[in-house]
Amino acid sequence: MPSSLSLDPAKAVLLVVDMQNDFVLPDAPMEVAAARQRVPAMAALVARAREAGVPVIYTQHVLYDGFDVSPLETTQLPHLKTAGMRAGTPGVEIIAELAPLPGEVVIPKHRYDAFYNTRLETVIRNIRGRNVADSVIITGTVTSVCCESTARSAFMRDLRVFFVDDATGGFDDASHRATLATIDRVFGKVVSTRQVLDALGGA
């Protein structure tokens, strides 16, 4: 892990990936216990970003009852054919501890990569003014699935990736660490919550 962080707050956005009730709450359809454990770190980052004027952008994984919008996902995870992240239900909403403020952007998505067939890139390119933002700070869940897919996709779009190791939650420690190693070697910088808080300024 680098000892210093070359993150310019004036060119960054904070991305909170899929911190929804159906991923975070106990006994939820896609419960990720590690995501729940890391909520305090994510909340600290969200609060500091707001104080520093860094836009906070949320992603929200959405499935439907009326038709299977993500058929390969539900083939891999058959229990999602009947429950989980359903549009219009409390399970699809961002958890209360990280709830978006009025005016903050929430990006619905149907694939692990939050850039795929969404407006995320357009929002990032313009939310701070035309082509100002060049860096994404990634937090959320699942580390090795939606967080990693989105980080790789950001890199392919020439966005600098800062992947927060203790503010992302994985299914297990092995997959979490494997993602961190891959991101840090190839796709961006793996950083700590403390490093990002310091880079964004304040106490």
Amino acid at 55: P
- pLDDT at res. 203: 53
Taking alpha carbons only, the member of 197, 127, 128 closest to residue 162 is: 197
pLDDT grade for 3, boundaries at 50, 70 and 90 = very low
pLDDT tens, residue by residue, 173-189: 999 999 999 999 999 99
Q: Which residues, 6+ apart, have CB-to-CB distance to 102 below 8 Å? A: none
Distances (CA, A) of 182 to 14, 22, 32, 148: 21, 27, 21, 9
- pLDDT at res. 112: 98
By 3-state DSSP, what share of the chain in percent is helix, strand and coil, each rounded to 5? 40, 20, 35
Which whole number is the average pLDDT over 77-95? 95
So what CATH class is 9-200? alpha beta
Amino acid at 50: R
- pLDDT at res. 88: 95
Amino acid at 32: V
Q: Model-level pTM?
A: 0.95
- pLDDT at res. 202: 61
pLDDT tens, residue by residue, 93-125: 999 999 999 999 999 999 999 999 999 999 999
Residue 152: which H helix or E strand, with range?
A: helix 148-156
**Backbone dihedral region of 189: left (phi > 0), alpha (psi from -120 to 50 degrees) or beta?**
beta
SS3 (DSSP) at 106: strand
Distance CA 3, CA 128 (A): 28
Work out the angle between the directed axes of helices 193-200 and 39-52 (0-180°, nearest 10).
Answer: 10
pLDDT grade for 1, boundaries at 50, 70 and 90 = very low
Which whole number is the average pLDDT over 115-140? 98
Q: Which residues, 6+ apart, have CB-to-CB distance to 152 below 8 Å? A: 113, 187
Report DSSP state, residue 100. P
Q: Which regions of 100-187 does DSSP assign to beta strands (E)?
A: 105-109, 135-141, 160-169
Q: Is the pLDDT of residue 2 over 90?
A: no
pLDDT tens, residue by residue, 11-70: 999 999 999 999 999 999 999 999 999 999 999 999 999 999 999 999 999 999 999 999
Q: Is the pLDDT of residue 5 over 80?
A: no
